[in-house]
Structure 1
Amino acid sequence: MTADNDVPVSVVGPGDGETITLGTTTFRVLEDGSNTGHRLGIAESVLAPHTPGPPQHRHAQHDEGFYVISGMVRFTVGRDSHDAVAGTLVMVPPGAPHTFENPTDEPAVMLSTFTPDLYVQYFRDLEKMFSGGEPPSPEAHIKAMGRYATTPATEFH
């Protein structure tokens, strides 16, 4: 789609976008940064019931936002936990330790933003690692995170 001044506009319809499967979580990349000058990435995440999240970590170079569309997602920030229900927005600035999980019996859906888009490639890397036989372990997550200015927040384990 093109606007009147010939600037392309990205439209991603239902079921469109790149699908990345990571264990019991499915990501649908809605914007990988290629249409935003790499200023913004967006993904829809579906977390199956009882899905653990990644190890608690910090991003050095990007903000990450989570908008819960349905279900409940538990966010852990340092030692504090917050149960985010549908309609809740969680914004994580660079340097803030965080992780999330779906501890419930129902699936949870959330929209995630990455500003800039740096972290979208992390999910692609994880999928490639897991499809190549590496188990979805905390160590695998940490290995992939390290490529994207992200480090584990080990003081909270």
Structure 2
Amino acid sequence: MRVELDVHPLLLAPGEGEIVTDRPAKTLRILGELDEAIVTWFRYAPGEKGPDAHVHHHHTDAFYVLEGELELTLGAERKVVTAQPGTFAAAPPDTLHTFRNASADQVVFLNLHVPSMGFGDHIRGKNDAFDQHDPPADGGRPFADAVLTTPADAETLEHEASTHRVLCDLPQLTAIDMTFQPEFEGVDPHTHADHVDAFYVLEGQVEFRVGDEPRVVGPGTFFAAPPGAVHGFRNADADPIRVLNLHAPPGGFVDRLRA
């Protein structure tokens, strides 16, 4: 196992992150910005709209709803869908998409760009050459090529002390809703040479390894291990834990879970 001694995981407590926008209509924070992926946290007030319908030629744009309802338009057919909490949606390269809050309540969601392609500088107003384009004349890829998955309809992989719901398994990104029971023994410290392994804590108390120090964190915490960063985790108390786990690129992780 090759260990990069100068590479360390990222750990952000709830509410932390680089604030790009914070006004009554919306809040945008950058949680983690790496070459392989950028993860951002959005809050939209009722009626707030996202960008015009667009495509990305070289990367995947994905969404995970934490609170409220997010209206998404996906595919050449411009199919409109409503994503509830726990829903994961993704637009692979050349798949039309846009989003807005069409409800009477605020919506909170994570947005991922994989790979990041300079999205951080784009939302900072510093990257006019970002990979974002008007839809092609034929509308691009069909809705069937997009991802729209709820925990209820996800592929479910049951293990002795854990349940894994595969929300997304695309060439550029894997997303899994993971629940671990109190008897779960944890994942020993390890590294990945070729991809980012990231977590957003949804329920319970999780102990992550950050360098040589164990850190116990709760819901709303974001953790990301870049390639070469030593990391591990376990259940920190007597209740189950639930996390959104992201691998960018996938690195065959879901296939190992299926084995």
Give the TM-score taking structure 1 as reference length.
0.76
* Residue aligning to 1:151: 133
Within 2, Cα distance between the matches of 1:59 and 1:154?
11
Are the counterparts in 2 of residues 71 and 106 from structure 1 also a CA contact under 8 Å?
yes
Instruction: Give, in whole Å, the separation in 2 of the partners of 1:121 and 1:51.
Output: 22
Structure number with the bigger relative contact order (C-alpha 8 A, sep ≥ 6) is 1
Quote the offset at 1:22 in angstroms: 7.0
Distance in 2 (alpha carbons) for counterparts of 1:123 and 1:95: 20
- 2:122 is matched with 122
Displacement of 1:45 in angstroms is 0.5
Q: Which structure is higher in helix share? A: 1
**Equivalence for 2:55:** 58
Structure 2: how far apart are the matches of 1:19 and 1:106? 22
1:18 aligns with 2:15: no
**Higher alpha-carbon deviation: 42-51 or 18-27:** 18-27
Give the structure with the larger strand fraction. Answer: 2
CA drift of 1:120 comes to 2.2
Give the C-alpha shift of residue 6 in structure 1.
5.4
Amino acid at match of 2:32: E
RMSD: 2.3
Q: What percentage of aligned pairs have identical amino acids?
A: 28
Query: 1:48, 1:106 within 8 Å by CA — same for their partners in 2?
Result: yes
Q: 1:153 to 1:104 in 2, by over 3 A?
A: same
CA–CA distance in structure 2, aligned partners of residues 49 and 89 of structure 1: 20
SS at match of 1:147: coil
- For residues 52 and 4 of structure 2, the distance between their equivalents in structure 1, rounded to whole angstroms, comes to 46
Contiguous gaps of at least 5 residues in structure 1: 129-143
**Contiguous gaps of at least 5 residues in structure 2:** 140-259
Match of 1:68 in 2: 65
Q: Which amino acid aligns with 1:105?
A: A
- Alignment partners' CA distance in 1, 2:22 and 2:7: 34
Alignment check: 8 A CA contact 1:76 1:100 kept = yes
What does the per-residue CA deviation read over 1:87-129, in whole Å, with 9 as the maximum and x for residues that have no partner?
100011010000000011100000111111122221111xx7x
